[in-house]
Amino acid sequence: MSLDKTIKGLKTSFSKELSKSKTSQDLENFRIKYLGRNGQLASLFEEFNKLPAPEKPRFGKELNILKNQLTDQFQNALGNKSENSASSNIDFSLPGYNLPDGNIHPLEQITSEIKSIFQSIGFSVAYGPEIDDDYHNFEALNVPKHHPARDMQDTFFINPNAVLRTHTSNVQIHLMENQDPPLRHICCGRVFRNEAVSYKSFCLFNQVEGLVINETSSFAEMKGTLEYFIQEMFGKDTKMRFRPSYFPFTEPSAEVDIWNSKLNQWMEILGCGMVNPNVLTNVGYDNKKYQGFAFGMGIERIAMIKYGIKDIRLFYQNDKRFLEQF
């Protein structure tokens, strides 16, 4: 029998027997018979080796095509068998599995709560660049080059004139440069400082800062705004106090503490003050006509106080045992 007829006969018998193979064992026996190391396809390649040299190119091509075709047919049949077997083993009357619920990250929960509180009293939410130039991060905020206040925070410099922002106050400068008063905004986002990582400090954290600019704002209005926020966040009976402080971009400045009854001590919660007239001048506002107040807080600090968390690093470790508690 010529090799042509042998190839044709193998194709025919392969298809007929494959269609009759119903079980997994049938398919395995079929594979060994036709595609195995000593199977019928392998015997054709042995016959090929005996052919005269002039005939080998044509039959070599045909045998390779045949091998690919038969292998594909078998794999398709095997795949269909697997799908049918899987379907037949499923009892669709059984109850389904309960998939675990996801959790919103505690920092995002606190951020959303802070935004909701301030939005309820007329604040809008603004965002700005995490990489900014030295001017918007420092100089416009009354912190010129070589000012001693720059020693208060180590900075990640991208180049001599670009930094990873050290606070969200840069957003306030962008807002004032592009909008006329009155302004009433909070600014949220990540900030970066080159600090040693420990249980109480990290190289990045999240901030919310507030800014109010108009013709009539006062320290009393700022105090009332922050009292409202603290009572909404920590409870109506929360004790708080204002302490004199210093920030180059506000004058006068203060820090706000709340009383922690569990630890029996005051804990700093935020900084605030009346916007320094120099900052208003830097953004082109008339500091004789307009005035305002600003405040800022770390979201991690709020979360740690509210939830009793003692290590800031837990927020960034993606430990499910920690995150599933919120």
Does position 88 have pLDDT exceeding 70, yes or no? no
User: Residue 153's pLDDT band (boundaries 50, 70, 90)?
Assistant: low
Q: pLDDT digit string (tens) for 19-59?
A: 777 777 877 887 788 778 777 777 877 777 777 777 778 77
The whole-chain average pLDDT of the chain stands at 87
- Rounded to an integer, the average pLDDT of 229-249 is 95
Instruction: Please say if the pLDDT value at position 134 is more than 60.
Output: yes
More confidently predicted of 86 and 161: 161
Asked if residue 67 has pLDDT above 90, the reply is: no
pTM above 0.85, yes or no: no
Within 10 angstroms of residue 70's Cβ, the number of other Cβ atoms is 20
Share of the chain above pLDDT 70, in %: 94
Span 76-84, average pLDDT: 67
196-205, 251-260, 283-292: the lowest-pLDDT one: 196-205
With bands split at pLDDT 50, 70 and 90, how would you rate the model's confidence at 60? Answer: confident
State yes or no: pLDDT of 14 exceeds 80: no
The residue to which tokens 């929960």 are assigned: 109
Which tokens sit at 281?
């001048």
Q: Which of 11-20, 165-174, 212-221, 257-266 has the lowest mean pLDDT?
A: 11-20
Q: Is residue 138 within 8 Å of 148, Cβ to Cβ?
A: no
Per-residue pLDDT averaged across 213-237, rounded? 96
Read off the pLDDT of each residue in 3-11 and give the average, rounded to a whole number: 76
Tokens linked to 254: 């203060």
At 194 the pLDDT is: 85
Asked if residues 295 and 272 have their Cβ atoms less than 8 Å apart, the reply is yes
The rounded percent of the chain whose pLDDT value lies above 90 is 54
The interaxial angle of helices 3-20 and 56-88, nearest 10 deg, is: 0
Domains of the chain, earliest start first: 3-88 (no CATH), 106-323 (3.30.930.10)
Asked if residue 1 has pLDDT above 60, the reply is: no
Q: In 3D, which of 160, 64, 172, 91 has the Cα closest to residue 125?
A: 172
Lowest-pLDDT choice from 47-51, 62-66, 147-151, 289-293: 147-151
For 248, the token pair is: 């180059």
- Whole-number pLDDT of residue 200: 85
